[in-house]
Structure 1
Amino acid sequence: MSPESRPPEPGPQLRGFVAQLPFGLDPFQVRACAALESGHGVLVCAPTGAGKTVVGEFAVHLALAAGRKCFYTTPIKALSNQKHLDLVRRYGADRVGLLTGDQSINSDAPVVVMTTEVLRNMLYADSPALQGLSHVVMDEVHFLADRMRGAVWEEVILHLPEEVRLVSLSATVSNAEEFGGWIQTVRGDTTVVVDEHRPVPLSQHMMVGKRLFDLFEGGGQTTLVDPNLLRHIAHRREADRLTDWQPRGRNRGRQNRPSVNRGPSRPDVIATLDAEGLLPAITFVFSRAGCDAAVKQCLRAPLRLTNDEERARITEVIDRRCADLARSDLDVLGYYEWREGLLRGLAAHHAGMLPVFRHTVEELFTAGLVKAVFATETLALGINMPARTVVLERLVKYNGEQHAPLTPGEYTQLTGRAGRRGIDIEGHAVVLWHADDEASNPAEVAGLASTRTFPLKSSFAPSYNMTINLVQQMGPELARQLLERSFAQYQADRSVVGLVRGVERGERMLAEIAAELDPEMLEYARLRAEITARERAQSRASRLHRRRAADEALAELRRGDIITISQGRRGGLAVVLEPAQDSDDPRPLILTEHRWAGRISSADYSGASARLGSMTLPKRVEHRQPRVRRDLASALRSAAVGLDVPSRRRGQDGERDVDPDLARLRDQLRRHRAHDAADRETQVRAAERYLRIDRDNEQTRQKIAAATNSLARSFDKILELLTERGFVDRTGDTPKVTEDGRLLARIYSESDLLVAECLRQGVWEGLAPAELAAVVSAVQFESRGDGTGPQGLQIPTGGIRRTLADTRRLWARIRSDEQRQRIAYSREPDDGFVAAIHQWASTGDLASSLAASDVSGSGSPLSAGDFVRWCRQVLDLLDQVRNAAPTPALRSAAKRAITDIRRGVVAVDAG
């Protein structure tokens, strides 16, 4: 081993830290901790379960040893709660605090665990709590790629005081050096530590029917698919093909027999894993309803994964966790079926579950008492629930817009849960084979499992709140400089480097061609190019004109009209059987003299010839019958005798030139001195190559201009809009944030500008607390699926109805301004939670509140978990309204609304 590759020697603090651990450190952990003790920031990229958080805990150790503070940030509240418990066990409750927006525990402690948004808000507010801060841990920092919330990570990284050491912990990404290079440019000395070694090896399998096969030949020593797996699938396909074919008259019950290629049932999968000793297992099902249905299927089967002793321990945990739930709510919550699943070692896990249920599942699974969990992919986001085995039912999931194949990064993140450190010798990833699913083809699965390219891409963009806070803190000029230091701009600029090289290469080629080219020939080629462009434009305009004329003519045709089809192989006489139904895309039904019947469009009918005449048709024409078509075609030919039938070619000739500029350019070309040159075409080809390269260069320059300073330009547009609306005053030399602007600076919401406008214009004044909660929900809530049904039908009071209408009018004016400034649009208010939260704040009755959430009347109300989650998001925004509202009455209404919502299931297990 060379001196450069040898791990650094641990310093005294690291030696003392390791002495307290029940395990030794891996080389990558030693490298990262030693760099941290040397005063560097660190970026650690390692697989799930590799032990990255040890580096974060060493940062806590260093801060406490120096009498300083450490903030430990995570992307979601569940992770913050989990980390808080871990650190309390280690350092004691008096030295560790928690801040998650709706929870504040011991916030003045030297170690505070928090969501990243909380730290961002503290930085903008210049909170006194930042005094004495020496280290910040950013767990799951790869979350900055998240489309909705990723910008918060970059804001924190850019805003932290220079002296704070940053510890960034990320899942494995393929552009770690790029990300580390950016952190180094904005934070100073940063050590990048990348480790791709899994502490528990991962074996890849496929389950075909009830049989388990290795995915790779030799158990994973190569990336070649195991031939035994391929042979077995081929045999199953052949068996299915043979059973599909039955001689006529035999085995008439075949249609009732299932195909041998249908995937195994969920109880069969769990039973097979149990028999192979591969439990506990997490099965990823990319739908909440699918997770719940999987547990119900297993409960209907004779599947029991626990013994008497385990069931007694499960009962104790359930009773302790759920003691505060109202007995009257248990039926509504599906408590008894959920409890029965747990007692048999089975559970679902997804964001739609009641938090107390979800956290109980996490505790029981971690303790080895629940053996099979059916989960959505949210479980893969850092929650500490490792399993011996991970099962993927399908390799396609809905991404919010469409069903798309899993990416290699998603596959790695999901299967990263397999293999419990210190318990399992190896982890197991199992993909179920489905004959009807091309994505589960072994070659496709092998490609996913062996690919290691998942780059981290920034989603950073300035928002209204970010813009106002930046102007307030540092003024527009420094704000632009800060945006230009973002990872998003860093990545854009790196992409620009290649584009600039392309332009430079093009410029050299242009210089070489120009040296050999007669300048007059270049001018001649430009003239020819302009003529060609004008001819194409005129041709397009003529085609469009002819299409419009044909559409109009088709739309005017009536039953019995005789016409001429002038285009295509069906040309000749025709009679209209049915007129067009759609005037925008007219397609009348016709019969030709050659007995063809069908609908025609402007592609078939030029419309150049007018209607030739008409004929009488039977009341009912059965045009699909050959005899009817034959008789009608004969009648058509007879009716056309004596009519002036144009030839097929008439109307197909191109229109005469009517563009005087085009005629002038053609004349100019003929009179040009280069027109009669002996080597004209050879020279023109060189000139045309020059023009093509010049055109490509110009397009590349436009791409460079779009990428360069793109964030600063977005910032300027937002600043202009905020100035127009009076949030920023730019009358003096230095732009100043107004009183209204300071109100906006305290609103951290996706609808930040709309909320601020509603507050300052008094739109939300005069509402009762439950009404205010209902209106606030409309700017926070976002319906799943196709929307919330008809707007305004479920609005409980006139006050809410009027206020929502005023709120929507304000949104429409904001949307108009955004359209004019070409700024990303603010989200439209959504009334889908209005009735539900008004009912809850008014009565506290869960059953009626859930019923009120079924706004479309489809019988599909929100799940209890979703209901609680949206209540808590409304609580977050109400708390901001309470702090920012300009009048005592509105502040009082917000405070009372918070009290009325934070009760019952919403208050239980608030983590």
Structure 2
Amino acid sequence: MTSSDPVDNSTAAGVPAVLPEAVASFITQYPFPLDDFQLRGACAVAAGRGVLVCAPTGAGKTVVGEFAVHLALQRGGVCFYTTPIKALSNQKYHDLVARYGPEKVGLLTGDTSVNGDAPVIVMTTEVLRNMIYAGSERLDNLTHVVMDEVHFLADPSRGPVWEEVILNLDPSVVLVSLSATVSNAEEFGGWLTTVRGDTDIIITTHRPVPLDQFMMVDRQILPLNDPGHPEEANRAVLAAAARAEEKGRRTGPKRTDVIARMGAAGMLPAIYFIFSRAGCDGAVRQLLVDRVRLTTDADRDAILRTVDDGVRDIPTGDLGVLGFRQWRRALGNGYAAHHAGMLPAFRHIVEDLFSRGLLKACFATETLALGINMPARSVVLEKLVKYNGESHVELTPGQYTQLTGRAGRRGIDTRGNAVVLWSRGLDPHAVAQLAGTRTYPLDSTFRPGYNMAVNLIATRGYDAAQQLLDRSFAQYQAAAHVVEQASRMTRRRRDLAGLEKDLAGQLRSQHTDLTSRDVIEYAALRRDLALAERKSKLDSGSQREKEISNLLSSLSVGDIIALPTGNNPDVAVVVRSDSDHRHPRPWIVVEDGWCGPVAPESFGNVPVPVGHMKLHRNAGRSPKRNARAVASNLRRQRVDRPRKLKMKAGGGSSREAAVLREKVHMHPVHSLRNREDLVRPAERVVAARRTLDRELEAVTPDSETLSATFDHILDLLVELDYVEYAGDPLRENLQVTTEGERLSRIHHESDLLVAQCLRRGVWDDLDPAELAAVASTVVFENRRETTGRHITEVPTEALATAISAVGRIHGELTSDETRHGLPLTREPQTGFATAVHQWTSGAPLDYCLRAAEAAGSQLTPGDFVRWCTRVIDLLEQVKRTGYADSVRAAARRAVPAIRRGVVELGATS
């Protein structure tokens, strides 16, 4: 990295002329010189300061984490290296073992324990959280903690765990936080400094391998970001798109054509992102049908040796169920799929082969972008829209950057390639701007829960627990109540004065007539605009969903609607209506043949009725079976297709945003070519002033604070005897009961429901298979809504009774939660119960997958392994927290019964 590279070191010191001894010895381990941001991070850690490093994927931010490992070993301390998922932990463990040897490195991932007394332990963040609450002796000598992929703090399912760890770690531990590039890194770093002490914020947007952007239109690969002729490049793309439109090509070339064209252009190996498991598998089948081969004979032989070695322990019968022969043939030809629905052992083989350069094309879902070490020369994005679990939404700039970050192999490629496939309505200008936009916000998902509440009361007491919640990043972002001592006010004013001085110096160096007040005013306007747009989105959401619900409930069979998919929207026909006006879910068939039920939350805007067509009477009885014929007929219909369906703006707040947007565009700073260089320090001034004003206002907490939610949780736990008053009924006198101690050891999304089931004995006296099945009801979550008739019976009467009891206890619990104004515990699901019962009883894989399908759960082998692993995780906790000897014994016997065959391989791969 050179001094001209774009880097924002908000509070980071520069690289010293003479490196600390520990840093100097560390850099000799690498065959290449470290970049400035890596040296800055290492120097900060060597000086005993925390560090937040924000850098693009592939920039090498993990080097700073590896220095923390090096320093801990050199100084006789202990370093924990945490990651969000087991796959990343396994990968980092092998990397560190290769460098330091197996005797110095351990691995803890919940279901795997290797060398747990080593001075360096790689672990999932949940393991560290549990160790903190348990008061583990391993924390006594802990000197450094690396939090890799710390932006996972924004993940709703895992994020709260990260915040718990950051808040509960001993202040003496040096925290090294590694993050993707986020737009509010300064805010997050400011919070880390508040709760952890001095933390250097190091931000770089520099990519070690520059990225070129292309759009493929009708088998042509055209540049989007030609720095010498940007307008010419865009005109060429638009002209090619117009020609393709005239030819009637809907979405450009098929996947075989894309791979062939990229191979001819020297752009392989490539990761081809398709936001669908079925789409990834379908792409591999298409290449097989078209007899595509991308490997030499030597490569093919090396691939097949690796494959055969990797599946040696999988039973032959299971390999048939897994489609092994076709999968092996595709790998031998140089291509494969990669998604969460695959068997973990298969995914591991794909990752290994791709990282060795033996595979030339990998069709992947976005999960591959999560830290897995699979760099490629090129990345292909088939679409810029993905399903987020509720509706189809456009990729954010942060997601685009994360995905394209895989393009360009350091030390191999001089440039990386991002290729977006053209489709109707896609704006080349918008695509070209995606990579340069740093607008991925890191927002806290931290909320107190039942397990957290009893652990905080047990380890800290009520007052200290409240103070911890008040120090959370969620509370920091909410700006409702951040408790700080009066001495912090002086430091805030001093910091603000320094930031204002820096801004003034920046203005002088730019030789502009604008003053600091002008730039600060502009920065404040941009912040106000962002807040107004966020408020507008929230205000309009509920009204829009009501309008969508009314429309869906009014549709009749044969009605044709235009879907809100942007320019030139797709159309769909209703094949099965729904008379439920509160929760309508009509079935539709789209032009491309997709068929399924849609709910109001499936759409970001209101669909528009555009016509009607006659349907065969069987279309509604078997919509999926007749989808292709219906879609073909639909495409022949002549309907008045709207040119575009834009998102409706929301009321007053959107008018406010329009006014602010006009002010921003008319402001003199907005027309400056170098405005971002001036605005960035001004934004820090605005944020610092806002923080100071907030702290001076002495805001009184309202009913929406985390502290208030915590109090509501405690009220319910008192009612249920998990906590009690020791003396007068004052919150500071709360203490954990024996039942609460058991709850403190249940780490699960439905922790209180599990605790209640164990406490009331409804899982007692079940055999191991029955216990695994009933435990699955609070673990399993079907990926899609089930429709039609499915088998709801379970194998034994005892299991049916236990499942019924779980449902009854859940109903009582949600009634209590409603009364206390708390979020409702997720409803149990039975779709995996029979499958895991049969597997635990020794049935083969194909039998269990058919049982799941009969219950309305469409599971891939990878899904099956993942849910079995989740059931094992819960049963391991039941072994320690169950009240009755019978339930603990059944859990002990169930775990090895489940952990066999493909499930055992999934846990170790």
**TM-score, scaled to structure 1:** 0.73
In the TM superposition, what is the alpha-carbon distance from 1:131 to its structure 2 partner?
1.6
CA distance in 2, matches of 1:731, 1:494: 31
**Aligned residue among 257, 275, 279 for 2:268:** 279
Q: Deviations over 1:604-644 (max 9, x none)?
A: xxxxxxxxxxxxxxxxxxxxxxxxxxxxxxxxxxxxxxxxx
Listed as ranges, the matches of 1:390-401 within 5 Å are 390-401=379-390
Q: Alignment partner of 1:193: what SS?
A: strand
**Is the CA contact (8 Å cut-off) linking 1:496 and 1:708 kept in structure 2?**
no
Residues 668-707 of structure 1 aligned to structure 2 (within 5 Å): none
Aligned counterpart, 2:349: 360
* Equivalent in the alignment of 2:459: 473
Which letter maps to 1:820? R
Equivalent residue runs for 1:859-870 within 5 Å: 861-870=858-867
The question of whether the paired residues in 1 share the 8 Å contact of 2:865 and 2:906 is answered with: no
Match for 1:417 among 406, 413, 435? Answer: 406
1:704 Cα deviation from its structure 2 partner: 7.6
Distance change in 2, residues 1:225/1:450 (3 Å): farther
Letter of the 2:472 partner, please give it. Answer: S
Give the 3 Å change call, closer, same or farther, for CA 833–771 of structure 1 in structure 2: same
Match of 1:227 among 235, 239, 247: 235
Partner of 1:890: 887
Q: Tell me the SS of whatever aligns to 2:435.
A: helix
Residue aligning to 1:756 = 755
Amino acid at match of 1:780: V
Residue 223 and residue 61 in structure 1: after superposition, are their counterparts in 2 closer, same or farther (change >3 A)? Answer: farther
Aligned counterparts of 2:19 and 2:415: Cα–Cα separation in 1: 30
Distance 1:5 1:482 in 2: 30
Structure 2 letter corresponding to 1:732:
G
Q: Deviation of residue 235 (structure 1)?
A: 3.1
Q: 1:825 to 1:877 in 2, by over 3 A?
A: same
Deviations, residues 9-55 of structure 1 (Å, cap 9, x unaligned): 42001101111221110000000000110111111000000001111
1:266 is matched with 255
Query: Residue 851 of structure 1 corresponds to which residue in structure 2?
Result: 850
Is 1:318 the counterpart of 2:307? The answer is yes
Closer, same or farther: CA 33–496 of 1 in aligned 2, 3 Å: closer
Displacement after TM superposition at 1:174 (Å): 1.0
- Percent identity, aligned pairs only, is 56
Distance 1:892 1:224, change over 3 A: farther
- Tell me if structure 1 keeps the 8 A contact 2:366–2:403: yes
SS in 1 for 2:454: helix
Partner residue of 1:732? Answer: 727
Q: 2:478 aligns with which of 454, 473, 492?
A: 492
Who is 1:429 aligned against? Answer: 418
> Structure 1: where are the runs of 5+ without partners?
241-258, 498-580, 586-702
Give the SS at the match of 1:772: helix
* Aligned positions of 1:302-317 closer than 5 A: 302-317=291-306
Which of 154, 161, 169 aligns to 1:160? It is: 169
Question: Residue 884 of structure 1: CA displacement?
Answer: 0.9
Corresponding residue for 1:814?
813
Cα 1:909–1:750, aligned 2, differ >3 Å: closer, same or farther?
A: closer
Q: Which residue of 2 aligns with 1:721?
A: 716
Match of 2:770 in 1: 771
Note if contact 1:387-1:418 (Cα within 8 Å) is conserved in structure 2.
yes
Q: Residue type of the partner of 1:282?
A: I
* 1:676-712 deviation line (CA, Å, top 9, x unaligned): xxxxxxxxxxxxxxxxxxxxxxxxxxx9877687100
CA offsets per residue over residues 576-617 of structure 1, 9 Å max, x none?
xxxxx99999xxxxxxxxxxxxxxxxxxxxxxxxxxxxxxxx
Tell me, yes or no, if structure 1 residue 53 matches structure 2 residue 31. no
Counterparts of 1:353-752 in structure 2, within 5 Å, are: 353-435=342-424, 438=425, 440-493=426-479, 710-733=705-728, 734-752=733-751
Q: Is the 8 A contact 1:882 1:892 kept in 2?
A: yes
1:456 and 1:494 map into 2 onto residues whose CA distance is: 18
Alignment partner, residue 642 of structure 1: none
User: In the TM superposition, what are the counterparts of 1:65-214 in structure 2 within 5 Å?
Assistant: 65-214=74-223
Q: What is residue 528 of structure 1 aligned with on the other side?
A: none
- Could you tell me how far apart the structure 2 residues matched to 1:583 and 1:455 are? 38
Partners of 2:230 and 2:157 in 1: CA distance:
39
- Give the conservation status (yes or no) of the 8 Å contact 1:852–1:861: no
Query: What is the alpha-carbon distance in structure 2 between the residues aligned to residue 451 and residue 225 of structure 1?
Result: 20
The C-alpha deviation readout for 1:373-416, integer Å capped at 9, x for no partner, is 00000000111111110000011111111111111111111111
Opposite residue 394 of structure 2, the aligned amino acid is P
In structure 2, the CA distance between the partners of 1:262 and 1:405, relative to structure 1 (3 Å rule), is: closer
For 1:598, the equivalent position in structure 2 comes to: none
The C-alpha deviation readout for 1:68-125, integer Å capped at 9, x for no partner, is: 1100000000000000000000000111000001100111111000000000010011
Deviation at 1:788, TM superposition (A): 7.8
In 2, distance between residues paired with 1:467 and 1:217?
55
Q: Look up the SS of the partner of 1:373 in the other structure.
A: strand
The residue identity in structure 1 corresponding to 2:15 is P
Contact 1:844 1:904 in 2 (8 A): no
Q: 1:330 aligns with which of 288, 305, 319?
A: 319
Deviation at 1:477, TM superposition (A): 1.2
User: Could you say what the CA RMSD is over the residues aligned between the two structures, in angstroms?
Assistant: 2.4
Secondary structure, counterpart of 1:331 in structure 2? helix
- Could you tell me which runs of 5 or more consecutive residues in structure 2 were left unpaired when the two chains were aligned: 484-577, 583-697
How far apart are residue 728 of structure 1 and its match? 0.3
Secondary structure of the corresponding residue to residue 178 of structure 2: strand
CA deviation after TM superposition for structure 1 residue 208, in Å: 0.2
Q: 1:276 is aligned with what amino acid?
A: A
Cα shift at 1:793: 1.5
Preserved CA contact (<8 Å) 2:782 2:831: yes
AA of the residue aligned to 1:143: F
Query: Contact conserved, 1:223 with 1:450, CA < 8 A, in 2?
Result: no
Aligned pairs for 1:17-36 (under 5 A) are: 17-36=26-45
Matched, 1:41 2:41: no
Amino acid at match of 1:886: Y
Instruction: Say if 1:159 and 1:495 are closer, same or farther in 2 by CA, change over 3 A.
Output: closer
Amino acid at match of 2:154: A
Aligned letter for 1:359? H
Distance 1:430 1:494, change over 3 A: farther
Deviations 1:112-160 (A, max 9, x none): 0000000001001111111210000000000000011110110000000
User: Displacement, 1:334?
Assistant: 0.7
Aligned to 2:671: none
Structure 1 residues 330 and 584: CA distance shift in structure 2, 3 A:
closer
Distance 1:264 1:791, change over 3 A: closer
The answer to whether the 8 A contact 1:395-1:405 is kept is yes
For the residues of structure 1 that align with 2:886 and 2:243, how far apart are their CA atoms? 75
Whole-angstrom CA distance in 2 between matches of 1:789 and 1:822? 35
Give the distance between the partners of 2:451 and 2:460, measured in 1 at CA: 14
- Provide the rounded CA distance (Å) in 1 between the counterparts of 2:408 and 2:887: 53
User: What does the per-residue CA deviation read over 1:804-833, in whole Å, with 9 as the maximum and x for residues that have no partner?
Assistant: 111111000110011111101100000010
Structure 1 residue 794 displacement after superposition: 3.2
Residues 788, 477 of structure 1: alpha-carbon distance in 2 compared, 3 angstrom cutoff = farther
Could you tell me how far apart the structure 2 residues matched to 1:849 and 1:316 are? 30
Q: TM-score of the superposition, structure 2-length normalised?
A: 0.73
> How far, CA to CA, are the matches of 1:351 and 1:134 in structure 2?
35
Contact 2:77 2:143 (8 Å CA) reproduced: yes
